[in-house]
Amino acid sequence: MIIGYARVSSSDQSLSRQIKDLEEYGCEKIFTEKQSGKNFVDRKIYQKMREKLRFGDILVVHDLSRFGRNKQEIKDEWELLIKDEIDIVVLNMPILDTTKYKELEGVGQLLTDLTLSLLSWMVEEERTRIRTAQRQGIEIAKKQGKYKGRKRKYHVGATGRDKLIYDEIINGLTKGVSVMDIHRKTGVARSTIYEIKKDIN
């Protein structure tokens, strides 16, 4: 069976281009997911698809980054799929198509290993470049007085569950409960509780 997997990392991104390419390849079933690639445990749709993959199936993805955020994650997942005798096709890199090398196992494996190592390194380098650019942008914004920081979740104007937790923190601080005990009770990071404590003081 030919199975496609499409993923974007946030809910406001579109899956349409990936789905179109997977359909044109001939995927009989396509799993879609809007979830960060931070780790495979949190990617429930991917895990569901993984459980359905069987010997002889073909897994088709648009690009290598669907398998992870860094070189090691990509390599580990690739090797697990190959071990389970599942073929892999990466649409934007035709050389990464294990269905082509059935008769040339040695040559095909060599080409795949070399290309996979290079491209997984490129994926990792791109993520590093983006993070560096983000940090530099924040530093520039701070110097210009434009950086406001991440929007605080627990504050006096919060609503719903966030407001209840904020009130719980305030109540604890007012009664002299330690930051650690409030952290344990609410699950809120100690740094956030210290910020709130600083505000009310």
Supply the pLDDT for residue 18: 92
DSSP-derived 3-state class of residue 185: helix
Q: Mean pLDDT over residues 72-83, rounded?
A: 82
The radius of gyration of the chain from alpha carbons, rounded to an integer in Å, stands at 23
Tokens of 165: 């937790």
Phi, psi of 66 (to 5 degrees): -65, -20
Q: How far apart are CA 72 and CA 153, in angstroms?
A: 34
pLDDT at 4 over 90: yes
- Contact between 22 and 9 under an 8 Å Cβ cutoff? The reply is no
pLDDT at 141 over 80: no
- Across the chain, mean pLDDT equals 81
DSSP 65: G
The catalytic residue positions are 9
Helix ranges restricted to H, the chain: 16-25, 44-52, 71-83, 105-143, 160-174, 179-186, 190-200
pLDDT over 70, % of the chain: 76
Of 99, 91, 84, 100, which Cα lies nearest the Cα of 119?
91
